[in-house]
Structure 1
Amino acid sequence: MDGKSFSGRTRRRGLLLSGGLALTVAAATLTAASPAQAQYGPYTCASGLVWREAVSGDRVCVSPQWRTKTWEENRLGPSNVQPGGGAYGPDTCKQGFVWRETRPSDHVCVDPRSRADNRLANAHAATGYANPGQLPANGTHASWTQYGSRLAVSPAHLTFQGYEPGRGYHSQMGNYGSSYGSRLVTPQNCRQSSSRSMYVLAVDVTTGTVSNAGRVAVPLCLYP
């Protein structure tokens, strides 16, 4: 099933990966889906992208060529397994191949470049969706601290970045310490915008799963 696509004009930038495939990421305002397109739910991909589908439930958005390559890897994977197993058990790969690891359970044996590319795709997964504000929370949360001077996000082991409607994606947020299981992503005495807000997107880079930690005032110390 394709995770595509929302209509409307979307400015985009391409990230050329070592394996020669392009991971295209959204860079501006995205528009609402038509009823026919909405069938793919909150994880609907931005126009031109589809779900990778390396394993069941894999909704990282990539180019159609990337998904075709992924399906071919799944087909050929068993032929790249070491007969009789080896040091890593029955899924040990033949020499020259490694586990793809789009998530820890993905033991399809592939070229090392494929694993590197897919790890990068996981890290950038937040930028592939048509409407980031509709992504589910999945237990993530973002809020300004008690005195409104620092932005905290949780859980702390995830990576976070902002998406501001009308302005697009901001760079990955920083790490300025932790507090009660949350990560402080702004320095002390950071000023909040009184007119701009953004969604905080959380990415589990081990699986490429993206969550919406909530909408908060834009931290002006991080973003212009």
Structure 2
Amino acid sequence: MFRTSVPRPLRVLPIALGIAAVAGFGALLPAPASALPYGPYTCQQGFVWRDAYNGDTVCVRPGDRDTAHAENAQAAARRSPNGGAYGPDTCKQGFVWRETRPADHVCVTPDRRDRARAQNSEGAQHFADASQLPAGKVHVRTQKHQLGGWIFVDSASGLSPNARLEFYAAGVNTIGLRALGNRQTDGNGYLPRETAALADVRCQIPRDRAATVIVVDTRTGIATSAGTTYAFSC
């Protein structure tokens, strides 16, 4: 189980050793990656982009993409013709905004909105190689200890307001992504530099390799790299 705060100082490496460790890990890179056919957001076999809007790269099953297209086609019929309490995009009774992103006002049944939110959260797990995702607006830093290291959120801004951010590690000796923890942005889409660790992990990959930290903004489903970490490196 990951800890959410830094243990007592007696477990931290001595200062001289800690500095040497950081210097020794400073130039680590993820394992070499093969080029992906559709760029960094290429999905695993059996998954496709959801395509609920132009640029939607959340990976889903083909049937879910077909459903999103059908919902788009039915959008006008499910919208209140005279507007309403939520403006011109107010839905008819029994329908709600889909919200695959905050601006998605396609009217769907409540269960379909729930499914869209789940897809946003799950999508990063279905990329062909999440370690190739581009850098985003969240950054992490690492502090080594004798058994592995602590991973901290260093900075985060320009994200969705009041959004749950989910963090994963790619390139660790596990199948798929390894969950690290989550954080919640404030009303301005901001997270401060943290002193409480996002995750306390154990080393399990070669010393000359680094893992990539992936972050998902679950209000949009957009996944990006938050940088690399040597916390898993032995």
Is 1:77 the counterpart of 2:85? The answer is: no
CA contact (8 A) 2:172 2:204 kept: no
C-alpha deviation, 1:151, in angstroms: 1.1
C-alpha deviation, 1:125, in angstroms: 1.8
| Structure richer in strand, relative to its length | 1
C-alpha deviation, 1:145, in angstroms: 3.7
- 1:180 is aligned, of 193, 199, 205, to 193
Equivalent residue for 1:66? 64
Bigger relative contact order (CA 8 A; separation at least 6): 2
Is 1:209 the counterpart of 2:233? The answer is: no
Question: Using a 3 Å threshold, how does the CA distance of structure 1 residues 82 and 172 change in structure 2: closer, same or farther?
Answer: farther
Structure index of larger Rg: 2
The 2-side partners of 1:125 and 1:63 are apart by: 10
Percentage of matched positions with identical amino acids: 40
Partner-residue secondary structure (3-state), 2:120: helix
CA contact (8 A) 1:174 1:186 kept: no
C-alpha deviation, 1:143, in angstroms: 1.9
Equivalent residue for 1:198? 211
Equivalent residue for 2:169? 162
RMSD of aligned Cα (Å): 2.8
> Unmatched 5+ residue regions in structure 2?
1-32, 158-162, 184-190
Equivalent residue for 1:151? 151
The 1-side partners of 2:60 and 2:195 are apart by: 30
TM-score (norm 2): 0.68
The 1-side partners of 2:227 and 2:50 are apart by: 26
Moved over 4 A (4+): 146-149, 190-194
- 2:123 is aligned, of 125, 142, 145, to 125
1:8-27 alignment runs, 5 A limit: none
The 2-side partners of 1:169 and 1:194 are apart by: 14
CA contact (8 A) 1:99 1:107 kept: yes
> What do the CA deviations read for 1:155-183 (whole angstroms, capped 9, x no partner)?
286321122355222124256xx862687
Equivalent residue for 2:95? 97
- 1:114 is aligned, of 107, 112, 115, to 112
> Unmatched 5+ residue regions in structure 1?
1-30
CA contact (8 A) 1:186 1:219 kept: no
C-alpha deviation, 1:85, in angstroms: 0.5
The 2-side partners of 1:86 and 1:48 are apart by: 41
